[in-house]
Amino acid sequence: MIKVPLSNIKVPRINVVRRKRMGLPGAIPGSFLIMENAVPSKIFVFSYKTDFLEETETESVEEAFAFTDKHPDCFHWVDVRGLGSQEVLNFIQQKFGISNLVMEDIVNIHQRPKNDEHNGYSFIVSRMLELDKGLQLNNEQLSFLLFDRLLISFQEDYKDVLDPVRLRLRKNTNGNIRKLGPSYLMYALMDTVIDHYFSIINRIGDEMEMVEDHLYQKPHKYLMYRIQGVKKLMIAMRRAAWPERDKINDLMRLNSPLVNEETRLYLRDAYDHTVQIIDLIESMREASTGLLDLYLSLMSNRMNEVMKTLTIISAVFIPLTFIAGVYGMNFAYENPKTGEILRGNMPELYIENAYVYVLVLMAIIALAQIWYFARKGWFKN
Q: Nearest approach, Cβ of 63 to a copy of itself (angstroms)?
A: 28
Q: Is 308 in the site for a copy of itself (CB under 8 A)?
A: yes
In the complex with a copy of itself, the residue whose CB is nearer, 71 or 378, is: 378
Q: Nearest approach, Cβ of 367 to a copy of itself (angstroms)?
A: 15
Write the DSSP string, 148-172: SSEEEEEESS---TTHHHHHHHHH-
Binding flags for a copy of itself, 197-236, as an x/- string (CB under 8 A): -xx-xx--x--xx--x---x-x-xx--xx--x--xx--xx
Q: Is 266 in the site for a copy of itself (CB under 8 A)?
A: yes
Q: Nearest approach, Cβ of 81 to a copy of itself (angstroms)?
A: 17
Residues 315 to 344: which contact a copy of itself by CB under 8 A?
Answer: 315, 317-322, 324-337, 339, 342, 344
Q: State the pairing for strand pair 75-81/150-155.
A: parallel
Among 137, 192, 244, 250, binds a copy of itself (CB under 8 A): 192
Q: Nearest approach, Cβ of 377 to a copy of itself (angstroms)?
A: 6
Among 4, 254, 296, 364, binds a copy of itself (CB under 8 A): 296
CB 80, CB 41: distance < 8 Å: yes
Radius of gyration of the chain, Cα coordinates, nearest whole angstrom: 37
Among 4, 279, 364, 367, binds a copy of itself (CB under 8 A): 279
Among 172, 254, 360, 379, binds a copy of itself (CB under 8 A): 172
Instruction: Provide CB contacts within 8 A for 290, sequence distance 6+.
Output: none
Binding flags for a copy of itself, 32-71, as an x/- string (CB under 8 A): ----------------------------------------
Q: Is 252 in the site for a copy of itself (CB under 8 A)?
A: no
In the complex with a copy of itself, the residue whose CB is nearer, 39 or 298, is: 298
Torsions phi, psi of 75, nearest 5? -85, 150
Closest CA to 172 of 270, 48, 45: 48
User: How far is CA 199 from each of CA 133, 232, 233, 254, 277, rounded to the nearest angstrom?
Assistant: 13, 17, 13, 30, 11
Q: Is 155 in the site for a copy of itself (CB under 8 A)?
A: no
Q: Which range in 14-22, 48-56, 58-66, 247-255 contacts a copy of itself by CB under 8 A?
A: 14-22
- What is the DSSP code (8-state) at residue 11? P
CB 115, CB 250: distance < 8 Å: yes
Closest CA to 320 of 378, 371, 369: 369
Cα–Cα distance measured from residue 269 to residue 267, given in angstroms and rounded to the nearest whole number? 5
In the complex with a copy of itself, the residue whose CB is nearer, 68 or 139, is: 139
Measure the CA angle with vertex 65, ends 59 and 69; round to 5°. Answer: 150
In the complex with a copy of itself, the residue whose CB is nearer, 147 or 225, is: 225
Q: Is 260 in the site for a copy of itself (CB under 8 A)?
A: no
Closest CA to 143 of 193, 211, 87: 193
User: How far is CA 371 from each of CA 31, 77, 108, rounded to the nearest angstrom?
Assistant: 82, 82, 72
Binding flags for a copy of itself, 232-251, as an x/- string (CB under 8 A): x--xx--x------------
Cα–Cα distance measured from residue 54 to residue 178, given in angstroms and rounded to the nearest whole number? 12
User: How far is CA 221 from each of CA 206, 216, 230, 292, 299, rounded to the nearest angstrom?
Assistant: 19, 13, 15, 11, 10
143 forms bridges with which residues in the sheet?
A: 125, 154
- What is the DSSP code (8-state) at residue 149? S
Residues 340 to 379: which contact a copy of itself by CB under 8 A?
Answer: 342, 344-346, 349-350, 352-355, 358-359, 377-378
Q: Is 276 in the site for a copy of itself (CB under 8 A)?
A: yes
Residues 122 to 141: which contact a copy of itself by CB under 8 A?
Answer: none
Among 2, 4, 28, 363, binds a copy of itself (CB under 8 A): 28
